[in-house]
Amino acid sequence: MTEQEFKALLALGHESRGVEFKTAGKRTDKAFLALVVRAALGMTNRQDGGLIVIGVADDGTEIKVIGLGAEDLPTWTHNSLGDSFGEYADPAIVFDLERLQVEGKTLVVVHVYEFDDVPVLCKKDYPGTLRAGACYVRTRKKPETSEIPGQTEMRELIELATSKGLRKTLRTLRDAGVDLGLPGPPADKALFDQQIKDLL
């Protein structure tokens, strides 16, 4: 992510289903980490995943870049966050982590990817924030992460998982030489995915 791309997100003036801001904090602060994990669980269960930006204060009226301090920043590495996600998520959350300089301040941007095969569940409690066995999503009513609040979010998650399963099955059949009477995958993956979606 470039500084210009980040500033375009800030210009919206609020979070979105695919973007969540977190204030500064250490990964080793268990309460703060639980909030980041919760956001990641919601993002991974969303089509196209999402971004968690750490080092941004959002009090509901103003979004302000505050950056991470010299003590906070070293605690946010890809490997250490992967270990932390591994404690709470099943299956694993796939993500990338980068540092971003904005206005002379350093932010951590966590790019969370949508799940591979099946939705990701929380496998460990953290009192008041995470519940073992829960399936977290980004809600439609407002940009927040919660346990599945209704049929709309449940249907969206089921359709995403079904679509992934169908694509995997069709690819397996093609690889096995089964003639499905469908054109082969085009060079344009987006077009192929749309063709599969149209079959559903």
Domain that holds residue 44: 3-148
Q: pLDDT for 99-110, tens place per residue?
A: 999 989 999 999
Same domain, residue pair 163 and 189: yes
Q: Is the pLDDT of residue 196 over 70?
A: no
Q: Answer yes or no: do 39 and 119 share one domain.
A: yes
CA count, 13 A, side-chain hemisphere, 108: 24
Domain match, 126 and 173 both: no
Note whether 44 and 160 are within 8 A (CB): no
171 and 116 fall within a common domain: no
In the predicted model, is pLDDT for residue 59 greater than 70?
A: yes
Q: Are residues 122 and 59 in the same domain?
A: yes
How does DSSP classify residue 181? S
Query: Does residue 181 register a pLDDT over 90?
Result: no
For residues 110 and 52, membership in a common domain is answered with: yes
Q: Would you say residue 76 has pLDDT above 90?
A: yes
Question: Looking at the 3D structure of the chain, how many domains does it have?
Answer: 2
Band (34; pLDDT cuts 50, 70, 90): very high
Same domain, residue pair 132 and 180: no
**Which CATH number is 89's domain given?**
3.30.950.30
pLDDT value of residue 33? 98
105 forms beta bridges with 102
Do 41 and 112 belong to one domain?
yes
Q: What is the pLDDT of residue 25?
A: 95
Q: Are residues 160 and 144 in the same domain?
A: no
Q: What pLDDT score does 20 carry?
A: 94
Q: How far apart are CA 165 and CA 30, in angstroms?
A: 35
**Do 50 and 112 reside in the same domain of the chain?**
yes
At residue 115, the pLDDT reads 96
Is the pLDDT score of 97 beyond 90?
yes
Instruction: Give per-residue pLDDT as tens, 166-180.
Output: 888 888 888 888 877
Task: Identify the band that residue 188 occupies on the pLDDT scale cut at 50, 70 and 90.
Answer: low
Same domain, 97 and 31: yes
Q: Are residues 110 and 189 in the same domain?
A: no
Residue 30: name the closest of 84, 73, 94 by CA: 84
